[in-house]
């Protein structure tokens, strides 16, 4: 039976923490609407205690979101919890996302707290939060660099105090897939009542492994993945939502797990996030990069024309591209050129076609990118190549 993996989108919180990706309220609402169209399960709208702007964003997003759960991030501090409660008061399904670091380096240098102090803070804060929220997520920040026995004590303390989702962040993108998969299995074997909670993962991309690690965790039983559109986030970013979703779709036979994401909104959402943050998506970015479905080499173009599955493991339409894109360039073959002529209603004789193709190839040697306009001009004899 296919299992369901919840998508917890943190574009508006961790994503916004990317250098230069700050969004204003209007832009955040635009992204939130897009996330609802995508059918994200949980939308992390911000960190209420971090600024007045974040508080207002959570408040306004809570008013417009009707299907998804809206989450607010909070430290283990009563004032933070109260602010999150106020900001989320209009949410139909509010979630409090509590976090504290559990690794020796974070406890010593950042928190300046002993392990016992961290444990009592977890117990007290989750219990306090439980008087206000029924849906509580607890994150053990820097979990992958924590001592395993202490991590389990921290997670069990949170579960016993009332947390309903337990999140394992690879905060500094330190883990690797085989290791992370084993880590998640071992956590599920050691926590109390694993059947009563949802195990979540939150992977950063410092080694370029955020998607691979998240998928490895799903294979081991994680049932919530935290991610962002286009993979934006602190430093090298978070796991990219589009990659997780499409990997689980395309390789469902291997993972036996799927998300509820409406994939046809992936590309439009990627464009919205890129436009509002000003963060340009690299051309070869999986799924949403402008080259992700382009076939330049003649052999590839010919193959795709005969049967798309020769070089496409998913269709561009499935992720929201309007049409299949073939670009003509230096490596394009006669088939692609013929196809372009036919699609653009240019009826030419075999002789003319041969001549045009020759000119097209000469043009390719001169120009790096051949545009639709160049091709039109070539056919209309407005370009003389020589
Ligand atoms: O990366 C991280 O550890 C976080 C937590 C707040 C979940 O973003
Ligand atoms: Zn993070």
| Widest CA span in the chain | 84
Beta partners for residue 214, in sequence order:
none
Q: How far is the CA of 202 from the centre of ligand 1 (A)?
A: 7
Tokens representing residue 301 in the block:
């173009």
The reply, when asked if residue 335 is annotated as ligand binding, is: no
The reply, when asked if residue 106 is annotated as ligand binding, is: no
**Closest ligand relative to 97 C-alpha:** 1
- 103 C-beta closer than 6 A to ligand 1: no
Q: Output the residue whose Cα is nearest ligand 1's atom 8.
A: 14
Q: Which one, of 305, 158, 285, lies nearest residue 232 by Cα?
A: 285
Residues 197-245: pLDDT tens digits? 999 999 999 999 999 999 999 999 999 999 999 999 999 999 999 999 9
Atom number, ligand 1, closest to the C-alpha of residue 143: 3
pLDDT confidence tier of residue 383, bands split at 50, 70 and 90: low
Residues 328-366: pLDDT tens digits? 888 888 988 888 888 776 788 999 999 999 999 998 888
Helix (H) or strand (E) holding 88: none
Helix (H) or strand (E) holding 155: helix 148-161
Q: Which residues contact 203 (CB under 8 A, 6 or more apart)?
A: 169, 170, 173, 175, 180, 209, 210, 211, 213, 214, 217, 226, 238, 239
**Ligand 1, pocket-test mutation among 74, 171, 214, 231, most atoms within 8 A of CB:** 171
Residues 166-187: pLDDT tens digits? 999 999 999 999 999 999 999 9
- In contact, 304 and 310? CB cutoff 8 Å: yes
**Closest ligand relative to 234 C-alpha:** 2
pLDDT confidence tier of residue 108, bands split at 50, 70 and 90: very high
- 141 C-beta closer than 6 A to ligand 1: yes
Phi, psi at 278, each rounded to 5°: 75, 10
CB burial readout 131-153, b (16+ within 10 A) else e: eebebbbbbbbbbbbbeeebbbb
Q: What is the pTM of this model?
A: 0.87
Rounded to whole angstroms, the Cα distance separating 124 from 376 reads 70
Place of tokens 């003319």: 352
Q: Which one, of 225, 162, 147, 170, lies nearest residue 193 by Cα?
A: 162
Q: Output the residue whose Cα is nearest ligand 1's atom 5.
A: 141
Rounded to whole angstroms, the Cα distance separating 17 from 26 reads 17
- 228 C-beta closer than 6 A to ligand 1: no
State yes or no: pLDDT of 382 exceeds 60: no
User: Does the interface ipTM go beyond 0.95?
Assistant: yes
Q: Which one, of 364, 282, 378, lies nearest residue 328 by Cα?
A: 364
Rounded to whole angstroms, the Cα distance separating 93 from 244 reads 24
| Cα pseudo-dihedral 369, 372, 374, 379, rounded to 10 | 140
Residues 113-158: pLDDT tens digits? 999 999 999 999 999 999 999 999 999 999 999 999 999 999 999 9
Average pLDDT (4-15) is 98
Angle between helices 78-87 and 115-130 in degrees, nearest 10: 30
HSE at residue 213, side-chain half, CA atoms within 13 A, is 30
Atom number, ligand 1, closest to the C-alpha of residue 142: 3
The reply, when asked if residue 14 is annotated as ligand binding, is: yes
- 171 C-beta closer than 6 A to ligand 1: yes
Q: How far is the CA of 202 from the centre of ligand 2 (A)?
A: 6
- In contact, 137 and 71? CB cutoff 8 Å: yes
The reply, when asked if residue 331 is annotated as ligand binding, is: no
State yes or no: pLDDT of 386 exceeds 50: no
State yes or no: pLDDT of 93 exceeds 70: yes
Q: How far is the CA of 175 from the centre of ligand 1 (A)?
A: 14
**Ligand 1, pocket-test mutation among 10, 11, 14, 234, most atoms within 8 A of CB:** 14
Q: 207: alpha, beta or left, given left = phi > 0 and alpha = psi -120 to 50? A: alpha
Q: How many other CB atoms sit within 10 Å of the CB of residue 189? A: 10
**Closest ligand relative to 99 C-alpha:** 1
Q: Which one, of 60, 71, 81, 8, lies nearest residue 39 by Cα?
A: 8
Q: How far is the CA of 267 from the centre of ligand 1 (A)?
A: 26
């Amino acid at each position: 039976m296919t299992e369901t993996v919840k998508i917890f989108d943190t574009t508006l919180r961790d994503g916004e923490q990317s250098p230069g990706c700050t969004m204003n309220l209007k832009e955040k609402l635009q992204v939130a609407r897009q996330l609802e169209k995508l059918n994200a399960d949980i939308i992390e709208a911000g960190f209420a205690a971090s600024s007045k702007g974040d508080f207002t964003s959570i408040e306004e997003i809570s008013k417009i979101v009707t299907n998804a759960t809206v989450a607010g991030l909070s430290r283990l501090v009563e004032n933070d919890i109260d602010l999150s409660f106020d900001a989320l008061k209009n949410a139909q399904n509010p979630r409090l996302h509590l976090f504290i670091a559990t690794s020796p380096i974070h406890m010593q240098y950042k928190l300046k707290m002993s392990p016992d102090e961290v444990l009592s803070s977890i117990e007290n804060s989750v219990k306090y939060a439980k008087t206000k929220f029924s849906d509580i997520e607890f994150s053990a920040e820097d979990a992958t660099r924590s001592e395993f026995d202490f991590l389990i004590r921290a997670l069990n303390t949170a579960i016993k105090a009332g947390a309903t989702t337990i999140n394992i962040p690879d905060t500094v993108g330190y883990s690797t897939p085989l290791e992370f998969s084993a880590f998640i299995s071992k956590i599920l074997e050691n926590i109390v009542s694993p059947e009563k909670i949802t195990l979540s993962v939150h992977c950063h991309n410092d080694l370029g492994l955020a998607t691979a690690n998240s998928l490895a965790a799903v294979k081991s039983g994680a049932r919530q993945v935290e991610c962002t559109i286009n993979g934006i986030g602190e430093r090298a970013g978070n796991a990219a939502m589009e990659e997780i979703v499409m990997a689980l779709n395309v390789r469902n036979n291997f993972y036996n797990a799927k998300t509820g994401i409406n994939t046809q909104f992936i590309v439009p959402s990627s464009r919205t996030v890129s436009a509002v943050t000003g963060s340009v998506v690299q051309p070869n970015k999986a799924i949403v990069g402008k080259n992700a479905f382009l076939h330049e080499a003649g052999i590839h173009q010919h193959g795709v024309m005969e049967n798309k599955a020769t070089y496409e493991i998913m269709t561009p339409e499935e992720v929201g591209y309007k049409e299949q894109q073939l670009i003509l360039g230096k490596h394009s073959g006669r088939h692609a050129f013929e196809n372009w002529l036919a699609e653009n209603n240019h009826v030419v004789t075999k002789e003319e076609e041969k001549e045009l193709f020759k000119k097209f190839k000469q043009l390719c040697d001169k120009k790096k990118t051949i545009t639709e306009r160049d091709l039109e001009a070539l056919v209309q004899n407005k370009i003389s190549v020589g």
